[in-house]
Chain A
Amino acid sequence: MAIPVEEAIAALSTFSLEDEQPDVQGLAVLLSSERYATNSPIEYSDVAAYRLSLGEDTKAINQLNTLIKEGKEMTSLLYTYRSCVKALPQLPDSMKHNQADLYLETYQVLDMEMSHLREIQRWQASAASKLAADMQRFSRPERLVNGPTITHFWSMLKLLDVLLQLDHLKNAKASIPNDFSWYKRTFTQVSTQWQDTDTMREELDDLQIFLSTRWAILLNLHAEMFRTNTVEDILQVLIVFCVESLELDFALLFPERHTLLRVLPVLVVLATSSEKESESLYKRVKINRLLNVFKNDPVIPAFPDLHLSPAAILKELSSYFQNFSSQTRLLALQAPHEIQGRELQDYQRHYLILNHMGTIRADHDDFSIRFASAMDQMIRLKSSDGVYNDWSRDIKGNMYDIVVEGFQLLSRWTGRIWEQCAWKFSRPISDSQQNSMTCFDYEKVVRYNYTAEERRALLELIGYIKSIGLMMQHCDTLVSEALWETIHMEVQDFVQDKLDTMLRTTFRKKKDLSRILSDMRTLSADWMASTSKADPEQHSLHQETEEMRQNTFYPRPVAPTAAQIHCLQFLICELVSGGNLRKVGGLFGNSGSGIPVEDLKQLETFFYKLSFFLHILDYTATIGTLTDLGFLWFREFYLESSRVIQFPIECSLPWMLVGHVIESEDAGLLESILIPFDLYNDSAQHALTSLKQRFLYDEIEAEADLCFDLLAQKLNEIIFTYYKSCAASTLLDSSFTYACDDGDKYFVKPLRFDAIFKLRRVMVLGRTIDLRSIITQRMNKIFRENIDFLLERFENGDLCGVVELQQLLDILELTHQSISRFLELDSYSLMLSEMQENLSLVSYSSRISSQIWSEMQTDFLPNFILCNTTQRFVRSAKGTHHSSHRSSASTGKPYFYCGSHDLTMAYQGLAGLYRDFFGVPHMFAVVKLLGSRSLPAIIRALLDHISSKITGLLPKINALQEALPKSIGLLSFDGGIAGCQKIVHEILTWEAKSEVKTEVLHDLKEIGSALYWMSILDIVLRQIDTTQFMQSAPWLGLVPGNDGQVKHAYSDNTPFTTLLSAASNAVTSSPTCPNPSTFLVMSKQAEAASLLYKSNLNSGSVLEYALAFTSAALDRHYSKWSATPKTGFIDITTSKDFYRIFSGLQYSYLEDSINNPSKKQEMLGDSVAWAGCTIMYLLGQQQHFELFDFSYQFLNVAEVESATVSHYQSSERTKSSNFLQGYEGILEAMRKARRLNNHVFSMLRARCPLEDKVACAIKPSGAPLHRMKFMNTVSAFETLPQRVT
Chain B
Amino acid sequence: MGRGGGMGNPVNVGIAVQADWENREFISNISLNVRRLFDFLLRFEATTKSKLASLNEKLDILERKLEVLEVQVGSATTNPSVFN
B57 touches A477 (CB 8 A): no
From the candidates B5, B21, B57, name the one contacting A773 in the complex (CB within 8 A): B57
The yes or no answer to A18 lying at the interface (CB within 8 A) is yes
Binding-face segment, A47-55, A234-242, A608-616: A47-55
The yes or no answer to A752 lying at the interface (CB within 8 A) is no
The yes or no answer to B42 lying at the interface (CB within 8 A) is yes
A51 touches B8 (CB 8 A): yes
Contact with B along A132-148 (1 / 0, CB 8 A): 00000000000111100
B21 touches A526 (CB 8 A): yes
Q: Do A761 and B75 form a contact, CB below 8 Å, given A52-B5, A579-B1, A773-B60? A: no
B42 touches A29 (CB 8 A): yes
> With contacts defined as CB atoms under 8 Å apart, how many contacts are there between chain A and chain B in the complex?
152
The yes or no answer to A903 lying at the interface (CB within 8 A) is no
Rounded to whole angstroms, the CA-CA distance of A149 and B24 in the bound complex is 25
Rounded to whole angstroms, the CA-CA distance of A17 and B44 in the bound complex is 7
The yes or no answer to A824 lying at the interface (CB within 8 A) is yes
Rounded to whole angstroms, the CA-CA distance of A559 and B60 in the bound complex is 52
Shortest Cβ gap from A1174 to chain B (Å): 34
Which of B1-60 touch A at CB < 8 Å?
1, 3-10, 13-14, 16-18, 21-22, 24-25, 28-30, 32-33, 35-40, 42-44, 46-47, 49-50, 53-54, 56-58, 60
Rounded to whole angstroms, the CA-CA distance of A69 and B18 in the bound complex is 34
**Residues of A close to B64: CB separation below 8 A:** 826
Rounded to whole angstroms, the CA-CA distance of A776 and B60 in the bound complex is 11
Nearest-CB residue, chain B, relative to A146: B5
From the candidates A29, A50, A561, A824, name the one contacting B7 in the complex (CB within 8 A): A50
The yes or no answer to B66 lying at the interface (CB within 8 A) is no
**Residues of A close to B84: CB separation below 8 A:** none
Question: How extensive is the interface on chain B, given as a class?
Answer: 35 or more
**Residues of B close to A515: CB separation below 8 A:** 1, 6
**Residues of B close to A52: CB separation below 8 A:** 5-7
**Residues of A close to B53: CB separation below 8 A:** 760-761, 770, 772-773
B13 touches A31 (CB 8 A): no
Shortest Cβ gap from B58 to chain A (Å): 8
Rounded to whole angstroms, the CA-CA distance of A515 and B8 in the bound complex is 12
Rounded to whole angstroms, the CA-CA distance of A519 and B39 in the bound complex is 39
**Residues of A close to B35: CB separation below 8 A:** 31-32, 476-477, 480
B49 touches A9 (CB 8 A): no
B56 touches A484 (CB 8 A): no
**Residues of A close to B43: CB separation below 8 A:** 17, 19
A5 touches B16 (CB 8 A): no
**Residues of A close to B36: CB separation below 8 A:** 9, 12, 477
Rounded to whole angstroms, the CA-CA distance of A5 and B33 in the bound complex is 7
The yes or no answer to A991 lying at the interface (CB within 8 A) is no
Which of A646-701 touch B at CB < 8 Å?
none
The yes or no answer to A512 lying at the interface (CB within 8 A) is yes
Shortest Cβ gap from B24 to chain A (Å): 5
The yes or no answer to A6 lying at the interface (CB within 8 A) is yes
B21 touches A529 (CB 8 A): yes
The yes or no answer to A839 lying at the interface (CB within 8 A) is yes
Rounded to whole angstroms, the CA-CA distance of A12 and B40 in the bound complex is 7
Rounded to whole angstroms, the CA-CA distance of A528 and B24 in the bound complex is 13
A525 touches B75 (CB 8 A): no
From the candidates A9, A13, A15, A31, name the one contacting B33 in the complex (CB within 8 A): A9
**Residues of A close to B29: CB separation below 8 A:** 5, 557
Shortest Cβ gap from B13 to chain A (Å): 5
From the candidates A143, A526, A824, A830, name the one contacting B68 in the complex (CB within 8 A): A830
The yes or no answer to A841 lying at the interface (CB within 8 A) is yes
Nearest-CB residue, chain A, relative to B1: A512
Rounded to whole angstroms, the CA-CA distance of A738 and B56 in the bound complex is 46
B50 touches A21 (CB 8 A): yes
Nearest-CB residue, chain A, relative to B19: A528
Shortest Cβ gap from A783 to chain B (Å): 13
A19 touches B13 (CB 8 A): no
From the candidates B28, B60, B61, name the one contacting A557 in the complex (CB within 8 A): B28
A5 touches B57 (CB 8 A): no
Nearest-CB residue, chain B, relative to A46: B20
Shortest Cβ gap from A617 to chain B (Å): 10
Rounded to whole angstroms, the CA-CA distance of A1132 and B5 in the bound complex is 147
Nearest-CB residue, chain A, relative to B12: A51
Nearest-CB residue, chain B, relative to A843: B75
Rounded to whole angstroms, the CA-CA distance of A377 and B32 in the bound complex is 20
A842 touches B79 (CB 8 A): yes
Rounded to whole angstroms, the CA-CA distance of A9 and B35 in the bound complex is 10
Contact with B along A8-45 (1 / 0, CB 8 A): 01001101011111000000010110000000000000
The yes or no answer to A516 lying at the interface (CB within 8 A) is yes
**Residues of A close to B61: CB separation below 8 A:** 824, 826
The yes or no answer to A197 lying at the interface (CB within 8 A) is no
Rounded to whole angstroms, the CA-CA distance of A20 and B7 in the bound complex is 58
The yes or no answer to A950 lying at the interface (CB within 8 A) is no
**Residues of B close to A761: CB separation below 8 A:** 46, 49-50, 53
Rounded to whole angstroms, the CA-CA distance of A824 and B56 in the bound complex is 12
From the candidates B10, B30, B38, name the one contacting A5 in the complex (CB within 8 A): B30
The yes or no answer to A1065 lying at the interface (CB within 8 A) is no
From the candidates A144, A525, A768, A841, name the one contacting B3 in the complex (CB within 8 A): A144
Shortest Cβ gap from A591 to chain B (Å): 19
The yes or no answer to A451 lying at the interface (CB within 8 A) is no
Shortest Cβ gap from B61 to chain A (Å): 5
Rounded to whole angstroms, the CA-CA distance of A839 and B68 in the bound complex is 8
From the candidates B3, B22, B32, B68, name the one contacting A579 in the complex (CB within 8 A): B3
Shortest Cβ gap from B16 to chain A (Å): 7
Q: Do A840 and B72 form a contact, CB below 8 Å, given A50-B13, A773-B53, A773-B56? A: yes
The yes or no answer to A518 lying at the interface (CB within 8 A) is yes
Q: Do A519 and B10 form a contact, CB below 8 Å, given A146-B5, A841-B76? A: yes
B39 touches A528 (CB 8 A): no
Rounded to whole angstroms, the CA-CA distance of A512 and B5 in the bound complex is 10
Rounded to whole angstroms, the CA-CA distance of A523 and B56 in the bound complex is 59
B50 touches A20 (CB 8 A): yes
B17 touches A523 (CB 8 A): yes
B44 touches A772 (CB 8 A): no
The yes or no answer to A627 lying at the interface (CB within 8 A) is no
A481 touches B76 (CB 8 A): no
Nearest-CB residue, chain B, relative to A575: B1
Rounded to whole angstroms, the CA-CA distance of A37 and B53 in the bound complex is 40
**Residues of B close to A1057: CB separation below 8 A:** none
A522 touches B7 (CB 8 A): yes
The yes or no answer to A574 lying at the interface (CB within 8 A) is yes
Shortest Cβ gap from A1053 to chain B (Å): 30
B24 touches A558 (CB 8 A): yes
B4 touches A146 (CB 8 A): yes
B28 touches A484 (CB 8 A): yes
Q: Which of B8, B32, B68, B75 has the most CB of A within 10 A?
A: B32
B13 touches A574 (CB 8 A): no
Rounded to whole angstroms, the CA-CA distance of A52 and B6 in the bound complex is 5
Rounded to whole angstroms, the CA-CA distance of A768 and B56 in the bound complex is 14
Shortest Cβ gap from A1007 to chain B (Å): 32
The yes or no answer to A153 lying at the interface (CB within 8 A) is no
Contact with B along A556-587 (1 / 0, CB 8 A): 11110100000000000010000100000000
From the candidates B3, B22, B75, name the one contacting A840 in the complex (CB within 8 A): B75
Rounded to whole angstroms, the CA-CA distance of A381 and B47 in the bound complex is 26
Rounded to whole angstroms, the CA-CA distance of A449 and B56 in the bound complex is 45
Rounded to whole angstroms, the CA-CA distance of A524 and B14 in the bound complex is 8
Rounded to whole angstroms, the CA-CA distance of A525 and B13 in the bound complex is 11
The 4 closest A-B pairs by CB, nearest first: A840-B75, A760-B53, A526-B21, A51-B7
Other CB < 8 Å A-B pairs besides A515-B6, A526-B18, A824-B58, 10 of them?
A9-B40, A12-B36, A17-B44, A50-B7, A477-B35, A526-B21, A527-B18, A557-B28, A579-B1, A772-B53
Q: List 9 A-B contacts (CB under 8 A).
A: A9-B37, A21-B50, A32-B35, A51-B7, A52-B6, A146-B5, A558-B25, A760-B53, A824-B57
Q: Which residues of B pack against A, CB within 8 Å?
A: 1, 3-10, 13-14, 16-18, 21-22, 24-25, 28-30, 32-33, 35-40, 42-44, 46-47, 49-50, 53-54, 56-58, 60-61, 64, 68, 71-73, 75-76, 79, 82
